[in-house]
Amino acid sequence: MRLANKVAIVTGGSRGIGRGIALKLALEGARVVVNYRANSAAAEEVVGLIQEHRGEAIAVQADVSQMSEARHLIRAAVDTYGRLDILVNNAGTTRDMLIMLMKEEDWDLVIDTNLKSAFNCCKTAARIMMKQRYGRIVNITSVSGLAGQAGQTNYSASKAGLIGFTKALAKELGSRNIAVNAVAPGFVYTDLTADLPQEMKDLVLQMTPLSRFGTPEDMANAVAFLASDESSFITGQVLSVDGGLVMHV
């Protein structure tokens, strides 16, 4: 198993892409800290599934958009497992609206959840990884951060910011054997996308050369690679896992 004896945190790990990532990392041998903000039942379900496959996992509640709670999450991982090798910044939300109608609080919420949370977690985790002289950080961005999307100025800005953050942090931490990369999903069926209008889903499908939507497992496979030593000479990169969608937007 590629991640045997490694300890991983997955923020927003109770549902959707985060759930898929948590399960995949555990199957690869990692001990997983499943972070959630509100849905304890979903997080405990993920932990239960991991344990059914003889893996190790705990669920930790924390709103990682708050620095104090991000610190609590990182401390919980280290207190439980003694170290931290992998951090996956997956926590995210949307509040889609044209800018003329967008509320200031919806801008702030999306920026805080999608971008500030990564800063909070990385700032705390970096100290531990630097002392270990080892770490893997994977940030979940989006095709919207690469190409922009009408009605998503807040979401696109947060995900584009995460790409710049990834590249800058990779330069800061590389000398300590810490790799920092990002995965940019295309259209993936999750709770965040389930309510999109059917005409938008049809359009996305037409623009995707591989002619299907992504799955959480597709994203998890990419994250597991970047979290493993198979990617030890890769840092500061954005891997688009989108069926080719970004080529058309």
Active site residues per annotation: 155
Q: What's the Rg (C-alpha) of the chain?
A: 17
The DSSP code sequence of 116-140 is IHHHHHHHHHHHHHHHHT-EEEEEE
Burial bucket for residue 104 (CB in 10 Å: 0-12, 13-18, 19+): exposed
Tokens of 10: 């997955």
Strands 178-185 and 135-140: parallel
**Cβ-contact 152, 144 below 8 angstroms:** yes
Q: How many residues does the chain have?
A: 249
- Please, which residues have CB within 8 angstroms of residue 183's CB and are 6 or more apart in sequence? 138, 139, 140, 141, 219, 222, 223, 226, 238, 239, 241
DSSP summary character for residue 214: B
